Structure 1
Amino acid sequence: RRFGKTMAMNMLNSFLDIRKDSRHLFKGLEISDEVEICEKWMNQYPTLFLSLKDVDGTTFENAFNMLKFVISSLCSQNSYLETGENIRENEKDIFSRLRSQTASITDIKGSIVTIMNMMQSYYEKPVILLIDEYDVPIAKASNNGYYKGMLEVIKGMLSTALKDNSSLKFAVITGCLKIAKESIFTGTNNFVSDTISSTRYNEYYGFTQQDVDKLLADAEIEEKAELIKEWYDGYNFGEFEVYCPWDVMNYLRDLQNDLNARPVSYWKNTSDNAIIRSFIDYTGAAIR
């Protein structure tokens, strides 16, 4: 958590979304030197970006209502689809229910694939799907006693969107917890899981030593390097030693105001560790 997953997803959305002109955002960055990649991918595909971070509630009903609100907001962001000439009327009807928050559980389970089908019909191109914090609704449900009900809904949403979906170009999904493929991604083909122990993307999440050295040089406080390493280094992603960006950036902010500011653990109060606590409680006193 706080290692840049959501920022990376926002970056992908800005780079890929056909509705945007993102040349100014990436001008001067390394990707702008990759002319063929930019011509092929930059703002060339309809892109659907959904975050499930706010789907929470003490009961299934409350959480499901929050999910309906999130889907409604997604529909509002894509309201142009309601007037698309090439879009089927039954899909427009479902879209209208999703947007007005009158959708049934069945509508919600098929919501992502419905919107993607409409986008493909509108743009005549397959859709790139980005889902951030996919595990939050399930983790919250586990904490509050409605795991099976929420799992059924999220599984329905993801399986219809990812399996045998002709509207899908590709999907990128992020989360903090690795939920078993058998429980939520059943039947999904070509599904590849990358974790902090994988090797493909390790250097792109968190700050590497080179990143921190550059930040300190830009801020002209290189003398704080050892202190920052002592406090905020210590993560190992495959072959890379990684700093927590949240801690580093917050401490640099404090140093801008006071060069004698003491480092603290900014990260420790930013997440809910209820699931970890439940596992510790389950193992009993011996493991503690």
Structure 2
Amino acid sequence: MGIYLNPGKSSYEEAVNSEIYVDKSELIAYLNTVVKTKQKYVSVSRPRRFGKTMAADMICAYYDREADSRDLFEKVQLSKNSAASGKDRWDEYLGSFDVIRIVMTKFFKKTNSVDEGLEKMQRLVSRELMKKYPDADYFDEKDLIQTIEDAYAENKWQLVIVIDEWDAVFREFPEDKNGQITYLDFLRDLIKDKSYIALAYMTGILPIKKYGKHSALNMFTEYSMTYV
């Protein structure tokens, strides 16, 4: 279990075992319908305290191939409602992918520039990939996209990428328009039309469409708090 690569189930397990737990596990049933399709890009924009991080923890726990989460998901509504309704198997993609989980505020809240935050994030995530798959022929440890492509060429495990607080750059560097464009272009190049992506899931306070004419992330379907 890593910090960024295959982070496991412990955070979601704590939530499920807590006295107050809001079961949002049926979100997985929807996500399973878009996994490995052209609709595999999902963005959720909601205010703080609306459970975005808990849902991200749940997604990681479900898809992480190293998490061994069957017992955990057998407790929640995803499996119970699937069994009662006779719908498609709730565990179709359980434990099927490598998962990369990135909380963007960690990299942009205490850095001096967008470039500095991006460089730090890429090196840390790349380091875990290289430790996990040491036999791959890596070209540049500072280039996360290239590192993922090199690892995928070696192991063929598709990724679920979960990005929490994706809009951190816009909140921490509101005047840095060039930095914002650089960041959006990086996310596009990381995610869009990549064979190694099975699912991309992003959360944030601000919606993607807020950023006007720059359409680097126009492949995402956005869901706000107005969606049930």
Task: Choose from 140, 146, 151 the match for 1:94.
Answer: 140
CA deviations on 1:42-100 (whole Å, 9 max, x unpaired) are 1111222111012125742xx5333333333323333334513xx4x3xx1312xx2xx
- Establish whether residue 68 from structure 1 lines up as the match of residue 98 from structure 2: no
CA shift for structure 1 position 127 = 1.8
Q: Distance in 1 between matches of 2:90 and 2:151?
A: 22
Superposed, 1:154-165 pairs within 5 Å as 154-165=183-194
Superposed, 1:19-168 pairs within 5 Å as 19-33=66-80, 34=82, 37-54=89-106, 55-57=108-110, 59-60=112-113, 63-84=114-135, 87=136, 89=137, 92-95=138-141, 98=142, 107=143, 111=144, 113-142=145-174, 145=175, 147-168=176-197
- Establish whether residue 174 from structure 1 lines up as the match of residue 174 from structure 2: no
The answer to whether the Cα contact below 8 Å between 1:158 and 1:185 also exists between their aligned partners in 2 is no
CA shift for structure 1 position 184 = 4.9
CA shift for structure 1 position 119 = 4.4
Q: Distance in 1 between matches of 2:172 and 2:100?
A: 24
The answer to whether the Cα contact below 8 Å between 1:134 and 1:173 also exists between their aligned partners in 2 is yes
Which secondary structure does the structure 1 equivalent of 2:102 belong to?
Answer: strand
More helix by share: 1
Change (3 A) 1:58 1:161: closer
Q: Which runs of 5+ in 2 are unaligned?
A: 1-47
Superposed, 1:135-284 pairs within 5 Å as 135-142=167-174, 145=175, 147-180=176-209, 182-186=212-216, 188-189=218-219, 191-197=220-226, 199=227, 202=228
Q: Distance in 2 between matches of 1:168 and 1:133?
A: 19
Tell me the matched-pair count.
174
% same residue:
20
Query: Whose radius of gyration is greater, 1 or 2?
Result: 1
Identify the residue that residue 10 of structure 1 maps to in structure 2: 57
Change (3 A) 1:31 1:118: farther
Q: Distance in 2 between matches of 1:163 and 1:182?
A: 19
Which secondary structure does the structure 2 equivalent of 1:94 belong to?
Answer: coil
When the two chains are superposed, the root-mean-square deviation of aligned CA atoms in Å is: 2.6
Q: Distance in 1 between matches of 2:79 and 2:150?
A: 31
Q: Distance in 1 between matches of 2:68 and 2:117?
A: 31
Change (3 A) 1:7 1:29: same
Q: Which runs of 5+ in 1 are unaligned?
A: 99-106, 203-288
Given residue 104 of structure 2, which amino acid in structure 1 is its aligned partner? Answer: L
CA shift for structure 1 position 29 = 1.6
CA shift for structure 1 position 27 = 3.2
Change (3 A) 1:183 1:9: farther
Higher relative contact order (CA 8 A, sep 6+): 2
The answer to whether the Cα contact below 8 Å between 1:128 and 1:170 also exists between their aligned partners in 2 is yes
Q: Distance in 1 between matches of 2:149 and 2:212?
A: 26
CA shift for structure 1 position 136 = 0.7
Q: Distance in 2 between matches of 1:58 and 1:81?
A: 27
Given residue 54 of structure 2, which amino acid in structure 1 is its aligned partner? Answer: M
The answer to whether the Cα contact below 8 Å between 2:97 and 2:158 also exists between their aligned partners in 1 is yes
CA deviations on 1:191-222 (whole Å, 9 max, x unpaired) are 2111112x2xx3xxxxxxxxxxxxxxxxxxxx
Change (3 A) 1:184 1:134: farther
Q: Distance in 2 between matches of 1:127 and 1:44?
A: 9
Given residue 109 of structure 2, which amino acid in structure 1 is its aligned partner? Answer: D
